[in-house]
A and B are shown apart, each in its own frame.
Chain A
Amino acid sequence: MDTLAQLAAGFAVALTPYNLMWCLVGVTVGTAIGVLPGLGPALTIALLLPLTYKVDATAAFILFAGIYYGAMYGGSTTSILMNTPGETATIVTSLEGNKMARRGRAGAALATAAIGSFVAGTIGTIGITFLAEPVVNFALKFGPAEYFSLMVLAFVTVSAVLGTSAVRGLTSLAVGIFLGMIGIDLQTGQPRFTFGLTELLDGINVIVVAVGLFAVGETLYLACFRKRADGEVLAVEDSVWMTREDWARSWKPWLRGSAIGFPIGAMPAGGAEVPTFLSYFVEKRLARKPEEFGHGAIEGVAGPEAANNASAAGVLVPMLALGLPTSATAAIMLSAFQSYGITPGPMLLQQQSALVWGLIASLYIANVMLLVLNLPLVGLWVKMLKIPEPLLYGGILIFATIGTYGISQSQVDLVLLYAMGIMGLFMRLFDFPTAPVIIGMILGPLAEQEFRRAMTISQGDMMIFLQKPLSLTLLIVAAIAVLGPQVWRLQRGPSVPRSD
């Protein structure tokens, strides 16, 4: 019951007109950037990080959470109507959703995506509400050694397991860890990797890296290496609502998608790709008309959309309860905590209880607002898809400039931004994932801190990580996650036929 009392107090915070306004701004901006191809929540929150100097922490996090949830709703509109998913998490939605739109059923697809997102988002938020405290209570038993091993596990799963290649994912992570180490070492006061530049003493701002990789890199890639993609936006011919049959075929996939998405999102691995694909295959298997899959089956939109939103909610559990970000967006939100001087981690729930519960309550409110924004007002968002590309990317680069120049007024940061953009271009060309860079950059210094604490306790004995049972278990799981697939592949021999 204590949880419900806390939640009620959270609603008292979230329902003040001031915080409601930030929630509304957040979900509106979030939906807009979710709809626009090329913009994502990580980039947008990074651009808005300087707001943390101006706005109080609760309002800022309500805004960021609104953007985060909103982008999930908006992304489905684009993948249904344009077949060019803005985010990997919505690839699956476009498989069936775009086919439905081509058959003149865009309205039903949008409706099942929006209502499914609402159902899953609400279930996911209930999950956060009741899971946060037990996770915190468990985590309070962690010492620095256990924490370090947990972070190693998160590193491995976000970079090696979820992407297409463990080697490339880990390379991105290592680059991120390197970028995170630049600047003054906080424990000894020694400068590291500053190359004699005073501008680098404070470290590289995560805004510069995120905006460089996501905005400048993507713009460079699209301008220089565009495929002849059909940028056609399908019209919404039917009404944005569902028939009785659509409801009957949607409600179970929504619930199953939520059940698949939330636990996977809440694990220290995170990631929305796995649950959406999993949900798609489950629905294909259970569907009464499996032959419709590939031609616009509504279950194939309802399930993955729900899984996507539930896993997005799940990611907030390790972020709020452990201070462990498992997606680029969560990593950037974590850096916002740091810029308020708030230490993320298990103590957060006690020390910043009004902030955390206000944030959780605002997630319920955001879901309701998003349902309204995305059902009756969907026509408005469809219009945004018609912004011509030259103007859209011109605008993105202007905002990128504001986000970086606006923090420091330093041309060095602009040059760094462009360097990151060029790195992003090459990462895109050679198929390296970008999210591990951001996660490594934010989580790397935290992992180093725990590592050194553990080593101080053990007086420099590395064995401490293997002597504590929980720490050892986490490291073994991490090792299996990296090496398991490779060993399995080797055992099957190199005779695996190539797909081409």
Chain B
Amino acid sequence: MDDRGIGRGPAWGDAAVGVAVLALAAIVGWQTTLIPTNAIYAQVGPKVIPWMATAMLAVLGTLLTWQGLRGGWEHEEHGEFNVWALAWLLLGLALNVALIGVAGFIIASTLLFVCTALAFGSRKVLRDTTIGFALALLSYVGFDRVLGYKIGSGLIEGLL
């Protein structure tokens, strides 16, 4: 195992990832006990591989936690965390889910596009709205009407 951090303090982030994997193992194990089984299938039933996956996650989670507590593993270098970018993106994604059923794909996607552009530092909101709208409209026509995807209806979709 790549315990490269001998002699350093614990890397709490890495250890937390290990704990998260352990938590996933617990959830998978718990859900596995809930799978109904028939005695005939006991040994080749639907629980065998789930138990193996549980064991795998438990062992790996333990190893990751242990590595984390012993100084963690090497990471690629990341830039500084940009909280505004995250806020804009989450807003865009939330608006998309909330509006796609009510207002339709084109409006929801245009808003998602504008929020994403803002997250990436664009300040040309008018330009982004125009391009986003055009792209959403074209994609809707292309995918829904020509290629036969089912993207649903909406305020603008109804006019087409």
A residues in contact (CB < 8 Å) with B: 50-51, 53-54, 164-168, 170-171, 174-175, 177-178, 181, 185, 187-188, 190-193, 195, 216, 219-220, 222-228, 388-391, 393-395, 397-399, 401-402, 405-407, 409, 411, 414-415, 418, 421, 426, 429-431, 444, 447-448, 451-452, 455-456, 460, 486, 494, 498
CA distance A397 to B115 in the complex (A): 11
B118 to chain A, nearest CB (A): 8
Report chain B residues within 8 Å CB of A164: 2, 74
Docked complex: B61-100 residues within 8 A CB-CB of A: 61, 63-64, 67, 73-83, 85-86, 88-89, 92-93, 96-97, 100
Evaluate contact between B101 and A411: CB separation under 8 angstroms: yes
List 5 contacting pairs A-B, 8 Å CB cutoff, sorted by A.
A191-B35, A225-B78, A228-B79, A421-B93, A460-B42
Report chain B residues within 8 Å CB of A405: 100, 105, 151-152
Report chain B residues within 8 Å CB of A389: 120-121
Evaluate contact between A398 and B152: CB separation under 8 angstroms: no
Evaluate contact between A426 and B17: CB separation under 8 angstroms: yes
Report chain B residues within 8 Å CB of A216: 93
Report chain A residues within 8 Å CB of B42: 460
A276 to chain B, nearest CB (A): 19
Evaluate contact between B3 and A170: CB separation under 8 angstroms: no
Q: A181-B53, A411-B100, A494-B6 are in contact. Are A390 and B150 (CB under 8 A)?
A: no
Report chain B residues within 8 Å CB of A168: 64, 73
CA distance A188 to B64 in the complex (A): 35
A51 to chain B, nearest CB (A): 6
Cβ 8 A contact of A190, one of B36, B78, B132, B150: B36
Evaluate contact between A193 and B100: CB separation under 8 angstroms: no
Q: A188-B46, A224-B83, A494-B3 are in contact. List 19 more A-B contacts (CB 8 A).
A: A50-B147, A177-B49, A178-B28, A187-B46, A219-B89, A222-B120, A223-B116, A228-B79, A389-B121, A394-B132, A397-B116, A398-B139, A399-B139, A405-B100, A418-B97, A430-B75, A452-B44, A460-B44, A498-B4
Report chain B residues within 8 Å CB of A460: 42-44
Q: A398-B139, A431-B76, A460-B44 are in contact. Are A193 and B28 (CB under 8 A)?
A: yes
Report chain B residues within 8 Å CB of A397: 92-93, 112-113, 116
For B66, give the chain A residue with the smallest CB separation.
Answer: A167
Report chain A residues within 8 Å CB of B80: 225
Evaluate contact between B74 and A390: CB separation under 8 angstroms: no
Cβ 8 A contact of B86, one of A165, A223, A456: A223
For A175, give the chain B residue with the smallest CB separation.
Answer: B24
CA distance A70 to B100 in the complex (A): 33
A410 to chain B, nearest CB (A): 9
Cβ 8 A contact of A398, one of B53, B97, B112, B144: B112
A46 to chain B, nearest CB (A): 13
For A486, give the chain B residue with the smallest CB separation.
Answer: B1
CA distance A406 to B82 in the complex (A): 31
For B143, give the chain A residue with the smallest CB separation.
Answer: A402
CA distance A429 to B76 in the complex (A): 8
Report chain B residues within 8 Å CB of A191: 35
Q: Count of B residues near A, CB < 8 Å?
A: 82
Evaluate contact between A402 and B35: CB separation under 8 angstroms: no
B55 to chain A, nearest CB (A): 9
A251 to chain B, nearest CB (A): 36
Docked complex: B19-66 residues within 8 A CB-CB of A: 21, 24, 28, 31-32, 35-38, 41-46, 48-50, 53, 56-57, 60-61, 63-64
Evaluate contact between A225 and B48: CB separation under 8 angstroms: no
Interface status of B131 (Cβ within 8 A of chain A): yes
Report chain B residues within 8 Å CB of A498: 4
Q: A452-B48, A486-B1 are in contact. Are A50 and B149 (CB under 8 A)?
A: yes
Q: A54-B147, A406-B149 are in contact. Are A411 and B31 (CB under 8 A)?
A: no
Evaluate contact between A224 and B56: CB separation under 8 angstroms: no
Interface status of B107 (Cβ within 8 A of chain A): no
A218 to chain B, nearest CB (A): 12
CA distance A190 to B38 in the complex (A): 10
CA distance A393 to B128 in the complex (A): 12
Report chain B residues within 8 Å CB of A415: 97
Cβ 8 A contact of A401, one of B63, B73, B100: B100
For B117, give the chain A residue with the smallest CB separation.
Answer: A390
Evaluate contact between A188 and B116: CB separation under 8 angstroms: no
For B16, give the chain A residue with the smallest CB separation.
Answer: A430
The 3 closest A-B pairs by CB, nearest first: A460-B43, A390-B117, A390-B122
CA distance A171 to B73 in the complex (A): 14
Cβ 8 A contact of B44, one of A53, A402, A444, A456: A456
Evaluate contact between A224 and B53: CB separation under 8 angstroms: no
Evaluate contact between A223 and B53: CB separation under 8 angstroms: no
A500 to chain B, nearest CB (A): 8
Evaluate contact between A406 and B46: CB separation under 8 angstroms: no
CA distance A399 to B139 in the complex (A): 8
Evaluate contact between B1 and A167: CB separation under 8 angstroms: yes
Evaluate contact between A171 and B57: CB separation under 8 angstroms: yes
Report chain A residues within 8 Å CB of B139: 398-399, 402
CA distance A445 to B83 in the complex (A): 39
Evaluate contact between B6 and A219: CB separation under 8 angstroms: no
Cβ 8 A contact of B116, one of A181, A390, A456: A390
CA distance A268 to B133 in the complex (A): 45
Cβ 8 A contact of B60, one of A171, A187, A190, A411: A171
